Amino acid sequence: MRKALRPGALALLLIAACAPVGSGGYGSNASAGGAKEVSFLVFETPNLTPDYWDTAIKRVTDAHPDIKVKKIVAPSAGERTAYAKQLLASGQLPDVMQAVAPSGFAESGHLYAWSEKELAAYQYPGSNPLGGKIYQLPYNTQPTPLVYYNKKLFARAGITDPPRTYAELLATAAKLKAKDINPFVVGGGGKDAFAAAYPWIALVGADVYRERPDFLVRRRAGEARFSDPLFVRATQKLADLVKKGYIDKAGLSRDYPSTEKAFLDGKGAMYPMGSWFAASVDAKELPFGIGVFAWPTDDGTTVVPAYTGGGPIVNAHAKNLEAAKTFALAFNQNTANNDVLVKTDAAIIAIKGYRPPTMGPVYQDTLKVLRSGKVVNAFTVETGDDALLPGMSDKVFAIAQQIVAGKTDGAQAAELLDQEWAKAGGR
Amino acid sequence: MTLIDRTSPDTRSPGRETPEVPPRARARRPGRWSYPLVFASPGLLVYVCFVLAPILLAFGYSLTNADLFHPDAEFIGAHNYTTLLSDDAFLRSLRVTTTLTLIIVVLPNVGGIAVALLLDRPSRLYKALRSVFFVPVVLSSVVVSVVWMALLSDDGLINTLLRGLGATSPPGWLSDPDLALCTIGFVISWQMLGFCSVVYLAGLQGVPKELLESAAIDGAGPWLRFRTVTWPMLAPAMTLNTVMLLITGFKAYDHVQVLTAGGPGLGTTSTIAFDVIQTGFTENRTGLSSAMAILMLVIVAVVSSLVLQLLKRREVDL
């Protein structure tokens, strides 16, 4: 009996010893045919569909048959950075990650820093530096947000031109409200809490960053606080919009796609949203026209909060680092890929010499607004040395929800931000 | 076989000395636990690798200032625990988790008994209905949450119906910070209702018909029969349901993530399980999130054992 059990026990031990434990997972391997495998973390949105990614990857692998790509999809667009951290914690950090915030990964030595030569093709090669180095390819500029508006609802309220000053914006909202039209569609439900913060991001850009472009750098140094009057005043403007009933609290029950649908269904006249929204509009036949303007400042100066980055980051410890770098650059600079990205996500490609395909009127108007104003950082979207501390952007989104729910005013929100900043380890 | 022959008293001749057992042979003798250990080893191995080791690792991390990006951390003793016990955000999460657990323990238990009593009939229709009530239990929590989110959003079916009935300002089920937690509690309760119903149905099958008949002969009406015969006999089912629901409540994560992501607002629906993930993977504070997880483990273990003992006592009294 014992002798019979001995091989069984030995087999069990062998099985246990051979079981894959820990590392492995998404690591790169040389695959059949000698092609080098590169794992690639992507995320899906209503614009960036599974088909978009598959086709875009195939274009690059067709041009580089020595590279084989293993696609990994993040659970949701908003969770892609947290997901990358989970993969890192389990020893499975992908080789290439699309639009994942490099902060934290870079400082701890997990990312490859691009050389000047590799960045030469980009219009803004110095975007979002971390300790003087660039880890994310700066290939796409996204105004975040602009205000898209329903021309038909504006006309119904007797509004002929979009507002240029903040006072005009308030007057516009009042006219819309008087006609029983919801002035602003703001979302932010479920996992898409970020959508609640767009009006706040716009206000911080227009009122705070315009005055103090280095506000967050100073905040990091302990030389500025969210409870400074400038920031409080900007935040109170959002609270006042809510108080006046110009922002529909019901939006907090809608996730991001439902919020977009609500605006396209005519459930509100103005929609503060990133430039990628232009793609969904131009692709649809709507019963009304859509215009766009920058969130107005007090004196009418045009200020556009925008972010240039969003490209791939590369795992410095990728098994096939050269293949990973080649893939990231090729994916990023492939003209056909960028043409599709422009069409599907209204990307404003920041690569020298790139000419976008013919696009619809909302995309063209978006470009005009971007070029007409002073560009400042987009609050919460920054990824360089001027970024919020890790975890803070989620707190901003949660506090934005509180303001939109009418539970918090500007001063309270700023105070909460300072408290959360201290908890996150900031000065 | 040879070992047994050598040591067996039957083989010894009277008056002769017992031959010495060679030390090597003695070492080979199977111990009392050898066979059970070999048979249990696959399960033990899985348990040690996937349950015990992670718990011990998490406990180890909880005593350090480990950061997701800097795993080589310093030992800081119980600092994370003292920080948490005086941290408003953690105490708020504890309150949220407790409230949610209370809702989740009460609603499906009450609803489960009601549904079980309704379905405790022999016809095929009722048997089919039992499956219908059980369907949500086997569905993924994420799927259930996505469906309910669509129903509960301001443009969803429920508020559209309410508007149709004349409500001018229907509730913001998920957007009102004062209501969102109850809504999540309701959704989880809805999903767990089928489980409780099936357990109570099984309990009802075990109630002796003679007892019910004799109570009826003694003049007991339906309510008295339920209170004095059925209800006490359902004690084991209630124990099982309550403990399962307690654990479900304390580890609620996926419904929260999909329906509200801990909001609306700062932590209004943020459970401890949700906070563990946020702290670990968004704020990068691995040590602190490990301490949260360990505290949650202790709380769940203590509360579950207490409730189990309390409810078991009721069973013993039967």
For A218-259, what is each residue's pLDDT tens digit? 999 999 999 999 999 999 999 999 999 999 888 898 888 889
Position B183 scores a pLDDT of 96
Cα nearest neighbour of B36 on chain A: A5
Determine contact: A21 vs chain B, CB below 8 A: yes
Q: Which of A5, A253, A408, A418 would you mutate first to test chain B, the one with the most B CBs within 10 A?
A: A253
Taking the C-alpha atoms of residue A142 and residue A350, their distance in angstroms, rounded to an integer, is: 10
Which chain A residue shows the shortest CA-CA distance from B254? A191
| Rg of chain B taking only CA atoms, in angstroms | 28
Q: In the predicted model, what is the mean pLDDT of residues B167-190?
A: 93
pLDDT of residue A9: 41
Residue A383: per-residue pLDDT: 86
The answer to whether the CB atoms of A193 and B155 lie below 8 A apart is no
Band (A161; pLDDT cuts 50, 70, 90): very high
The pLDDT value recorded for residue B146 is 92
The 8 Å CB, 24+ separation contacts for A23-27 are A23/A91, A23/A92, A24/A91, A24/A92, A25/A87, A25/A90, A25/A91, A25/A92, A26/A70, A26/A72, A26/A87, A26/A92, A26/A93, A26/A94, A26/A95, A27/A92, A27/A319
B260–A424 C-beta distance less than 8 A: no
Domain map (residue ranges) of chain B: 79-316
| Nearest residue, CB atoms, B264 vs list A262, A405, A420 | A405
DSSP structural state of residue A247: B
A403/A197 Cα distance (integer angstroms): 9
With cut-offs at 50, 70 and 90, classify the pLDDT of residue B14.
very low
A123 pLDDT above the threshold of 90: yes
Beta-carbon separation of A395 and B266 below 8 A: yes
**How far is residue A30's CA from residue B156's CA, in Å, rounded to a whole number?**
50
Burial class (CB in 10 A: 0-12, 13-18, 19+), A406: middle
Q: Can you give the pLDDT at residue B20?
A: 57
The mean pLDDT value of chain B amounts to: 87
How far apart CA A257 and CA A187 sit, in angstroms, is 9
Q: State yes or no: pLDDT of B138 exceeds 60.
A: yes
Contacting residues of B for A416, CB less than 8 Å apart: 266
3 state SS of B113: helix
Is residue B57 classed as helix, strand or coil in its secondary structure? helix
> Is the predicted pLDDT of residue B317 greater than 60, yes or no?
no
Instruction: Kindly indicate the confidence band of residue A189, based on its pLDDT and cuts at 50, 70 and 90.
Output: confident
Q: How confident is the model at residue A75 (pLDDT cuts 50, 70, 90)?
A: confident
- Structural domains present in chain A: 24-141+309-361 (3.40.190.10), 146-307+374-423 (3.40.190.10)
Per-residue model confidence (pLDDT) at position A18: 39
CB contact under 8 A, B176 and A405: yes
How far is C-alpha A75 from the geometric centre of its chain's CA atoms? 15
In the chain, the amino acid numbered A33 is G
* List of chain B residues whose C-beta atoms are within 8 Å of the C-beta of residue A82: 277, 281-282
Q: Is pLDDT of B91 > 60?
A: yes
User: In what side-by-side order are the strands of the sheet with A36-42?
Assistant: A67-73, A36-42, A96-98, A312-314
**Per-residue model confidence (pLDDT) at position A310:** 86
Statement: residue B23 has pLDDT above 60: no
Residue A426 has pLDDT above 80, yes or no: no
Per the CB < 8 Å rule, is B153 touching A104?
A: no
CA-based nearest distance B24→chain A, Å? 16
| pLDDT for B6 beyond 70 | no
Any chain B CB within 8 A of the CB of A407? yes
Q: In the A/B pair of chains, how many CB contacts fall below 8 A?
A: 131
Contact (Cβ atoms closer than 8 angstroms) between residue A332 and residue A137: yes
Chain B CB within 8 Å of residue A7 CB = no
C-beta atoms of B177 and A407 within 8 A: yes
pLDDT tens digits, residue range A360-391?
999 999 999 999 999 999 999 998 888 998 88
Q: How confident is the model at residue B34 (pLDDT cuts 50, 70, 90)?
A: confident
Nearest-Cα residue of chain B relative to residue A8:
B38
What's the confidence (pLDDT) of residue A273? Answer: 96
Q: How confident is the model at residue B15 (pLDDT cuts 50, 70, 90)?
A: very low
Find chain B residues with C-beta within 8 A of A395's C-beta: 266
Q: Identify the pLDDT of residue A8.
A: 42
Tell me which residue of A53, A42, A72 sits closest to A341, measured CA to CA: A53
Question: Residue B131 has what pLDDT?
Answer: 87
Q: How far is B216 from chain A (nearest CA, A)?
A: 51
- Of A94-98, A384-388, B100-104, B119-123, the least confident: B119-123
CA distance B103 to chain A (A): 20
A 207-266 residues inside an 8 A Cβ radius of B? 248-255, 258, 262
Please tell me whether residue B316 adopts helix, strand or coil conformation. helix
> What's residue B122's pLDDT?
81
Q: Note whether A104 contacts B284, CB cutoff 8 Å.
A: yes
SS3 A309: strand
Q: Are the beta carbons of B94 and B275 closer than 8 angstroms?
A: no
Query: B-chain residues within 8 Å CB-CB of A188?
Result: 263-264
Q: How far is CA A193 from the centre of its chain?
A: 13
pLDDT of residue A142: 93
Q: What value does the mean pLDDT take over residues B170-174?
A: 91
Q: What is the pTM of this model?
A: 0.81
Nearest CB to A107: which of B69, B87, B281?
A: B69
Give the domain B79-316 fold. MetI-like fold (1.10.3720)
Task: Please report which confidence band the pLDDT of residue A2 belongs to, taking 50, 70 and 90 as the band edges.
Answer: very low
Q: Burial code of B238-262, b = ≥16 C-beta within 10 A, e = fewer?
A: bbbbbbbbbbbbbbbebbbbbbbbb
Task: Kindly report which listed range (A338-352, B58-72, B75-89) carries the lowest average pLDDT score.
Answer: B58-72
3-state secondary structure of A372: helix
Average confidence (pLDDT) over A289-303:
96
**Whole-number mean pLDDT of chain A?**
90
